[in-house]
Structure 1
Amino acid sequence: MIDIIKIFFIFIFILFLLRKKINIGYALLAGASLFIILYPFNFNKTFHALFNSLISHTTLNLLFSLTLIKSFEYSLRQTGLMQKMTSATQTLVNNKKFSIISMPLIIGMLPSLGGAYLSAPMVDSATKNTSISKEEKAFINYWYRHPWELILPLYPGIVLASAVSGVSLRDLILLNFPIAVIFFTIGFLLSMENLKNEKKSINSRDIYNSLLSFIPILLVLLPVIIFKIDLSITLFLNILFLCFYFKKNFKETFSILKYGFTWDVVVLVFGVMIFKEMLQVSGAVEGIAKAITYAQIPYLIIFITLPFFIGLITGVSVGFVGSTFPILLHLKETLPYEISIAFVSGYAGVLLSPLHLCLILTKDYFKADILGIYKKIVPATLIIFVVALIEYIFLRYYN
């Protein structure tokens, strides 16, 4: 029981730092330092454990993946492909509802802070002269930015979850895919009910030219999912290909690659891995596992509630993954579908978090009532969680 109290105190300290806008990596490092105060350590043994963790293949691969994600996003903007993808969507959609959601959906493919503020005016423009309320517009802009984070390896949350848990990125994407489909579908059921569709004619050449702009995204996804190639390798090769295709010189190519190598990414990765290692070498995880076993709390409850509450309080995926997954992994030998339900639960907390930047920016742009937005977000989030739980039960008992 004493270990639970100590870890609870460390979590409160980390959350306090996050509320003060401290980078999640620094917050985790600060939390890791508290272990030295609260637990007895063999410093020589601990140093070697931390050093080996930081130079491990998992850590280095995660570091390169997260940095190259930023570089890849930058390359899409520098080559104009992001703008082409946006225009292509407007060309391809033959449906008023799809036209409205297309901008947050496409811009949401790239994990840009403040991206919600970019898509909001496009949603506002597409819904002019309709009966859609400010709260409904805000829901559309917010909701359709976020199905990608469950399955798209351009987002650090799912990459981090795979690296920390040891579940392959491919398996995690496939497990989360049905949830993402329901995520996409439920938005239609909770918005735009009275909107009439307006169709337009498009020719096959427009379709062909529009689809070409999405090739870079497919070239990242397909090697990871089909051939199980490391994300860092596919990102690196795609960046080089884009630079070659768009005739970027060596200096420009180097600048694009260098863009992602920022100190905040390094701190994030090191913070997560050091926090994870300190949980283990301190003996805290073993103490928590014994306490939970003694209390006979079902593991499923822990796998659901712990990520959910941390996601709710932090408002970011890397927050609940980095701080809770190391604990979950040491409670029992985890299976891929258990990591999936933990990830979806944590992400449900992120979606409902009042600290979620996208929600704050969207509410601000549309001047919408926050309770009105939550009236749609809460049932939508509950539905995707229920679907994830059904998938978990099916895989647990019928696979």
Structure 2
Amino acid sequence: MPTVPALAQVLIVFALVVLAAARKVHLGLSAAVGGVVLALWRGLGPLEVVRVALAEALSPDTLLLVALMACIMAFSGAMKKSGAMESFSKTLAAVSPSPRFAMAAAPLLIGTLPMPGGAILSAPLVDAMDPSRERSAASLSAANYWFRHGLELAWPLYPAFILTASITGLDAGRLIALNLYAVPVLFCLGLVFILPAPGRALAKAVAPGAAPGEAHGEAHGAAPATEPLRTRFAAFAAGIAPLALVLGTYMALGALWGAISPALGLGPSLEALVARFAPIFLGLLAGSVYLLSGPTGRGAFKGSVGPATLRLIAVIVGIRVFSVLLSTAGVAAAAASELAAAGIPSIAAVAALPFVAGLVTGIGFGYVGLAFPIVLGLAPVGGPLPRESAIVLAGAFGYAGMMLSPLHVCMVVSAEHFNVGLVSIIRRFAAPLAAFLATAIAYASVLALWLP
């Protein structure tokens, strides 16, 4: 009986996993089962498969990753319930240089909180910033969706970012540096293609529920535009304070740990584990203490960990099992060798696999968890394609697939709010998305020349 090539095995199992996910089978379950099937197919014994899967699911890295996801989702929910994010968004309108900029910045900054379907939080704000309907509903919906995900590749609180760092072994600072290019590129492309400067000035926007005569930024609870600039910025700072505490503590402790850890003599694994998780946990603690001291107190955190968080945790565990079984079975390395022997450039698979995974799952950690273990095998350390360049390229194409996916909850809720079809939204951001991919290819090519 002829041996099935490793690449064919990968593609068959990959197709079955994404088909199951598209059929509403839980992504974590389908990924874990797919990993088990592939490992058995590659010749691993059943007991070895169980041992490897359990060891990964119960490893300190996986357990800390699960705990971090739960804490981030709880903090995101508390920011919403406490009213801090609403206050922050409303005062943003008062300090922005123009309604157009505020219309882009509101979903972008709300996007700092990675919650499922989070575009529904920013949709009313974007809607209210164009009361005279200078722009079409499809354009507003596309703007809300596009800018809501402008930070996804470089923001350390996103599950996809955290999973990328975990799978690739890159520290958060390095991954931010590699993907930081995407933030200004996506923002500028969105302004040019989705929110072009109108022929005449936009009417001053009103906040949700405000009277038609209220000026831009005069939302309830926000500093009106007629207030002194200092007052408006003070209100803005109060709204952003919890998030600023999280990030400030995270960055400060990360830098401090980098300075003192060599003198502590910890083992490499423990040192990496502390560096990856301790600063962000303590940052979330600082932000949470601030929220607890506010008017809502503990009520802000009531019910903040719900079914959506538990589903996310199950997905992460399943993806980690999928990843470790692929690695143990040597699938990625074998597939890379077969591609090289067939004369097919690895870079084609590095781009295509994350794109397809993003398209069929519609979630960031979906394309990272399913495709990145294979991508790393296609770009081994010291290979012709620098690994970090491959990670950048794979991230960009996975992001593009996710943005185009009709399964992406944020696109669905944004379309529902503005009462437009998904196709009309996609038409509005197809051009900037293509331009972003072209930019990512050029950037990854430059990295490939510069990186060792």
Q: Normalising to structure 2: TM-score of the pair?
A: 0.79
Aligned residue number for residue 376 of structure 1? 428
Aligned residue number for residue 361 of structure 1? 413
CA distance in 2, matches of 1:217, 1:260: 21
Q: How do 1:336-355 residues align onto structure 2 when only pairs under 5 Å count?
A: 336-355=388-407
Q: Indicate which of 302, 305, 312 corresponds to 1:259.
A: 305
CA distance in 2, matches of 1:140, 1:357: 15
Q: How many Å apart are 1:367 and its aligned residue?
A: 2.7
Asked whether the equivalents of residues 250 and 280 of structure 2 are also in contact (C-alpha less than 8 Å), the reply is no
**Residues 1:396 and 2:452 aligned together:** no
- Identify if the C-alpha distance between structure 1 residues 219 and 385 changes in structure 2 by more than 3 Å, giving closer, same or farther: farther
Aligned residue number for residue 61 of structure 1? 64
SS in 2 for 1:148: coil
Q: How many Å apart are 1:247 and its aligned residue?
A: 3.4
CA distance in 2, matches of 1:260, 1:330: 36
SS in 1 for 2:315: helix
Q: How do 1:34-49 residues align onto structure 2 when only pairs under 5 Å count?
A: 34-35=37-38, 38-49=41-52
SS in 2 for 1:214: helix
Aligned residue number for residue 114 of structure 2? 111
CA distance in 2, matches of 1:258, 1:142: 24
Q: How do 1:145-164 residues align onto structure 2 when only pairs under 5 Å count?
A: 145-164=148-167
CA distance in 2, matches of 1:236, 1:187: 33
What RMSD, in angstroms, separates the aligned Cα atoms of the two structures?
2.8
Asked whether the equivalents of residues 304 and 341 of structure 1 are also in contact (C-alpha less than 8 Å), the reply is yes
Q: Which moved more, 1:104-113 or 1:53-62?
A: 53-62
Please, which runs of 5 or more residues in structure 2 have no aligned partner? 205-215, 217-224, 258-274
Aligned residue number for residue 327 of structure 1? 374
Q: Which moved more, 1:333-342 or 1:179-188?
A: 333-342
**Residues 1:240 and 2:290 aligned together:** no
Q: How many Å apart are 1:142 and its aligned residue?
A: 1.1
- Identify if the C-alpha distance between structure 1 residues 12 and 248 changes in structure 2 by more than 3 Å, giving closer, same or farther: same
SS in 2 for 1:149: coil
Aligned residue number for residue 15 of structure 1? 18
Q: How many Å apart are 1:183 and its aligned residue?
A: 0.4
SS in 2 for 1:128: coil
Deviations 1:134-155 (A, max 9, x none): 2211211111111021221221
SS in 1 for 2:152: helix
Deviations 1:281-328 (A, max 9, x none): 233223312211211222222211111121112211111110111111
Aligned residue number for residue 219 of structure 1? 245
Q: Indicate which of 162, 165, 169 corresponds to 2:168.
A: 165
Asked whether the equivalents of residues 68 and 260 of structure 1 are also in contact (C-alpha less than 8 Å), the reply is no
**Residues 1:76 and 2:79 aligned together:** yes
**Residues 1:268 and 2:273 aligned together:** no
Asked whether the equivalents of residues 103 and 119 of structure 1 are also in contact (C-alpha less than 8 Å), the reply is yes
Asked whether the equivalents of residues 389 and 447 of structure 2 are also in contact (C-alpha less than 8 Å), the reply is yes
Aligned residue number for residue 101 of structure 1? 104
Aligned residue number for residue 206 of structure 1? 232
Aligned residue number for residue 326 of structure 2? 279
Q: How many Å apart are 1:59 and its aligned residue?
A: 2.0
CA distance in 2, matches of 1:57, 1:314: 27
Q: Indicate which of 345, 354, 369 corresponds to 1:298.
A: 345
Asked whether the equivalents of residues 354 and 398 of structure 2 are also in contact (C-alpha less than 8 Å), the reply is yes
Aligned residue number for residue 312 of structure 1? 359
CA distance in 1, matches of 2:417, 2:127: 10
CA distance in 2, matches of 1:219, 1:254: 17
Please, which runs of 5 or more residues in structure 1 have no aligned partner? none
Asked whether the equivalents of residues 120 and 365 of structure 1 are also in contact (C-alpha less than 8 Å), the reply is yes
Which letter maps to 2:286?
F
Deviations 1:154-188 (A, max 9, x none): 21011101101111111111221121111011111
Q: Which moved more, 1:380-389 or 1:49-58?
A: 49-58
Which letter maps to 2:351?
I
CA distance in 1, matches of 2:284, 2:338: 48
Aligned residue number for residue 385 of structure 1? 437
CA distance in 2, matches of 1:238, 1:75: 15
Which letter maps to 2:348?
I
CA distance in 2, matches of 1:129, 1:312: 35
- Identify if the C-alpha distance between structure 1 residues 385 and 222 changes in structure 2 by more than 3 Å, giving closer, same or farther: farther
- Identify if the C-alpha distance between structure 1 residues 117 and 73 changes in structure 2 by more than 3 Å, giving closer, same or farther: closer
Q: Which moved more, 1:190-199 or 1:125-134?
A: 190-199
Asked whether the equivalents of residues 28 and 314 of structure 2 are also in contact (C-alpha less than 8 Å), the reply is yes
Deviations 1:86-145 (A, max 9, x none): 222123223111232343223322222222233223322221213311221121111111
Q: How many Å apart are 1:380 and its aligned residue?
A: 0.7
Q: Which moved more, 1:48-57 or 1:182-191?
A: 48-57
Q: Which moved more, 1:41-50 or 1:88-97?
A: 41-50
CA distance in 2, matches of 1:47, 1:254: 41
> Number of residues paired by the alignment?
398
Q: How many Å apart are 1:271 and its aligned residue?
A: 0.7
Aligned residues: percent identity?
Answer: 24
- Identify if the C-alpha distance between structure 1 residues 79 and 255 changes in structure 2 by more than 3 Å, giving closer, same or farther: closer
Q: Which moved more, 1:44-53 or 1:326-335?
A: 44-53
CA distance in 2, matches of 1:330, 1:11: 15
Q: How many Å apart are 1:343 and its aligned residue?
A: 0.9
Asked whether the equivalents of residues 52 and 324 of structure 2 are also in contact (C-alpha less than 8 Å), the reply is yes
- Identify if the C-alpha distance between structure 1 residues 34 and 47 changes in structure 2 by more than 3 Å, giving closer, same or farther: closer
- Identify if the C-alpha distance between structure 1 residues 243 and 329 changes in structure 2 by more than 3 Å, giving closer, same or farther: closer
Aligned residue number for residue 261 of structure 2? none
Asked whether the equivalents of residues 68 and 257 of structure 1 are also in contact (C-alpha less than 8 Å), the reply is no
Aligned residue number for residue 196 of structure 1? 201
Q: How many Å apart are 1:270 and its aligned residue?
A: 1.8
Q: Indicate which of 133, 143, 146 corresponds to 1:143.
A: 146
CA distance in 1, matches of 2:334, 2:377: 10
CA distance in 2, matches of 1:303, 1:129: 45
